[in-house]
Chain A
């Protein structure tokens, strides 16, 4: 092996070819290894969630199915027996996993239907908010971070830093309540919820064509611009809340990453060659500075989901976050387990994509 490489070493072009070939194989290997690892991690997540749910005594887990207050202990026992909650833990786990592979995630009492139906109903509401706020968070964060780094120690820099540290410190729930108090309470605009009562009648009427479940997108598809506006109107305040709270993270990272990249030798070279400051900042410095921001954007997702639970609770948007909060409070075990698995999967997939992008964008990263 070594000897072959040594003989080829003379011919530089072949060597480069071989190297890139090797890199592709590496990348593929890397992706396969990461996928296998991801399955392992998800298996672990399911084990952790399941074990935590097992801490709860069967009587409490079954309580959510109990409708009337006059249930005799014998009936409770029958219910526990019916749902098989007295079986040994491994059997219950196997049953749960087995059902998942058959597409059956159980019945969610908080969603008043099968877990999957609840998911179809709640997920678009959350997705709409995520789709609106994530690009805003990244854009605002990158823009302010670049501004701070370029004008280091100038008033702009101080302003963005203070903005970041305040955004980092504000309690999500408090900011949301204050926004509601000022805009909805005092000015009577931006009400909580996801759509007005009039709009609700429209989207629940039989002639409404529910394609994606995203209110704005369905509005466009159905050609109802009033509904598009209605949905968007209810998105503004929650999205603003999320942007204020989450862009601080991106801003801080972008600033320090940009500062580091501005201090590199190639920036000095570019300056010496007479490139103007704007080009250097945009092309030479910012592109390199964006690399760590890509990673954090993946991690930010986890933070955003936590923010979602609280934001949706405050603004009374019936999405995944509010569903999870209610499921956790009422111990709706099937819903909790499904959502944790779902979010775990999304988190793992997002991170995998980020890592692959990262290795692809930055050839210096060793794939180990």
Chain B
């Protein structure tokens, strides 16, 4: 019993003294000392809680279709905040608070799904191109050049219209057009490591290419890639919202922030006696998007400063 316990503790100590773990705890401590990263973390955690507890915070009328915002009648003009509608309603009386709460789920879905799919394609193509070089690298890089020269938003708009409007299409299109950025980034990271001594040592030791990529190269380059990816969750949501705003999103009444801003376009100027009468329709959904993106940007910014050893010294 006692020997077992002793073994466990030594094992634990051994685990804690592993350089990678020490590095991580050191970085994490610095990360939590930075006020900006705390703000970013708090914002994202709040949004995550809202997304998780959406059914409690705003019980859906139809449990099978929770993303449909309920509305009281079809009156065109928005109504100001009231006890039943704490944030007011949009045109056709869609409840803004409900839209915001369930829109959080849409935003996380959009951000994670697009960035993860792009990262997946980017890691595979980028590491193959960067590690092996040659004609494969040449082809992949020329294709990414071509995608870089395309005006992203216009191509995305045309493609979404071509395959049918809706949030689903926006996600698919942003994956089709988004992977080159990640491929190029990962390729660069891998090329920087490819000729380092420890890789040559691994090669000399007889390790296979796949093993070298997975065990030696990716762990060394993945940090900076993940940080960029986390920052991109914000901008991805922003672009998707812009596409929704331009009228390519789901049908009106779907809980998606971009869609909600798009619905407010006719209400930026109120009646003559009160020009700002409909401020809540314009302000609230856009403000929520801005906060969501701000959270990810603060998080990514701080993470880059902390985890990048070159930045840390300064």
**Listed stretches A47-55, A102-110, A131-139, A196-204; interface member:** A47-55
* Residue pair A185, B270 in contact (C-beta under 8 Å): yes
Of A161, A324, A328, A348, the residue contacting B149 (CB under 8 A) is A348
- The 8 A CB mask of B259-276 against A (1 = contact, 0 = none) is 001001100111000011
* Residue pair B246, A313 in contact (C-beta under 8 Å): yes
Q: How far is the CA of A313 from the CA of B262 in the complex (A)?
A: 12
Q: How far is the CA of A228 from the CA of B46 in the complex (A)?
A: 49
Asked if B214 is an interface residue, CB under 8 A from chain A, the answer is: no
Q: How far is the CA of A165 from the CA of B289 in the complex (A)?
A: 14
Interface size class of chain B, counting residues whose CB lies under 8 Å from the partner chain? 35 or more
Q: How far is the CA of A40 from the CA of B167 in the complex (A)?
A: 34
Asked if A35 is an interface residue, CB under 8 A from chain B, the answer is: no
* Residue pair B297, A180 in contact (C-beta under 8 Å): no
Nearest B residue (CB) for A342: B151
Interface size class of chain A, counting residues whose CB lies under 8 Å from the partner chain? 35 or more
* Residue pair A306, B153 in contact (C-beta under 8 Å): yes
- Which residues of A (44-78) have their CB < 8 Å from a CB of B? 44-45, 47-49, 52-53, 55-56, 60
Known: A55-B162, A328-B157. A174 touches B145 (CB 8 A): no
Asked if A100 is an interface residue, CB under 8 A from chain B, the answer is: no
- The 8 A CB mask of A298-341 against B (1 = contact, 0 = none) is 00001001100110010000000000110011010000100110
User: B interface vs A, CB < 8 Å?
Assistant: 36, 142-143, 145-155, 157-159, 161-163, 234, 238, 241-242, 245-248, 261, 264-265, 268-270, 275-276, 279, 282-283, 286-287, 289-290, 293-294, 297-298, 301, 314
User: A interface vs B, CB < 8 Å?
Assistant: 37, 40-42, 44-45, 47-49, 52-53, 55-56, 60, 161, 165-166, 168-174, 177-178, 180-181, 184-186, 259, 263, 302, 305-306, 309-310, 313, 324-325, 328-329, 331, 336, 339-340, 343-344, 347-348
26 contacts between A and B (CB under 8 A): A44-B143, A47-B146, A48-B147, A49-B155, A52-B162, A165-B297, A171-B241, A171-B242, A173-B241, A173-B242, A180-B269, A181-B269, A181-B279, A181-B282, A186-B275, A259-B314, A305-B151, A309-B153, A310-B153, A325-B246, A328-B157, A329-B157, A329-B246, A329-B247, A331-B161, A340-B150
